[in-house]
Amino acid sequence: MSRRKYWKDRIPVLVINGVGMVLLSVFLLLVGNSPDSVALILLVWILSLFVYLSVLCWRRKRKLDQLLELAKNLDERYLLAEMLPRTAGAEEEVYIRLFKMASKSMLEQIGDVKRDRQEYREYIEQWIHEIKTPITAMKLLCENHKSEFTRELMTEIEQTDRYTEQALYYARSEHTEKDYSVREIRLFDVIHQAIGDNKYFLMQNKAAIETEESDVTVCSDEKWIRFILNQLIVNAVKYRNGQPYLHFYAEKMTDQIFLYVEDHGIGIPANDLPRIFEKGFTGQNGRIRQNATGIGLYLCKRLCDKLGIGIDVKSGEEGTTVRLAFQMNHFTWELQKSMKSKNGEREDEC
């Protein structure tokens, strides 16, 4: 609370008291009181008024500062009405009741919005699961009747499947903890699965793929990692410069494992790099490729944050490198060491 504003609000009170002092002084002088006694009475009045208003200002400021501090410390500030002190003046009680009524109305509206969002999300998930059935059927039909036409059709089916997967993961990205299945996985097995998910798309675009195989394992969710890799593979082919090229390799550094996905595409302009993970941001390349949505990298970043995976992108005028950083805890290290020792013992026995 501002003291200057407080005293400004008290101007009507000060004016009324000033008028009362003048009238009282005139009356006392007319009835024969000495000027000294009148001055003493006015001095006591002024001091009493000043002390009263100052104490009132101090008490109100302390009370309001406590309320502001309480609001800052609350994670859910809409509950502030329930935290207000019960002892309050008649006017303050009215304000508190109005505040509680407003909070109740807001909570009811938020509840309605949350229910609508939950119902919509459940509908989207159900619809995606239903649409996956005919997509899978079309894939099987194409696999059983291979021809040039079915191979081209499979490319479009893969793209349709990617879009439905993207919609599903977008719907689930707020509550990924309900779909976790964290276990130890061999990183390059997931990479090969992601490549297999896009094989017709890669074949149609004559993409060259290079993998530096290693036995690195990480503790994470295989399905979510696979989705992230799918997005990176599609981007590498979509924003290509000539023949698409993808290079996968991994490095182990102290307590982290880094997975690199490198391409020789058109690169990302330096001005766009800080914003590539923003929702809906397509940048300069997105204006060149009209079918860009700005959702793929946004979902990758969001899922990586949920999984505890670091993700960063380096790019120049030609080529982009995406790095995924997996944390290695003590349990994972000990597990890998024991597995290596067992494999060594088996080799010795042979």
- pLDDT of 78 reads 65
pLDDT tens profile 17-59 = 889 888 988 888 888 888 888 889 889 988 998 898 888 888 8
Whether pTM > 0.95 for this model: the answer is no
How far, in Å, CA of 188 to CA of 213, rounded?
7
User: Two tokens at 103?
Assistant: 């909070």
How far, in Å, CA of 338 to CA of 340, rounded?
5
- pLDDT of 176 reads 61
How far, in Å, CA of 334 to CA of 217, rounded?
12
- pLDDT of 335 reads 47
- pLDDT of 62 reads 81
pLDDT tens profile 107-160 = 888 888 888 888 888 888 788 878 888 888 888 888 888 888 888 888 888 888
User: Two tokens at 25?
Assistant: 């002084």
Mean pLDDT, consecutive 10-residue stretches, the chain (350 aa), reads 76 88 87 86 89 85 78 70 64 74 81 85 81 86 85 85 82 67 88 90 89 88 90 88 89 88 88 87 74 82 88 87 83 49 45
Q: Which domains does the chain have, with CATH numbers?
A: 3-104 (no CATH), 181-350 (3.30.565.10)
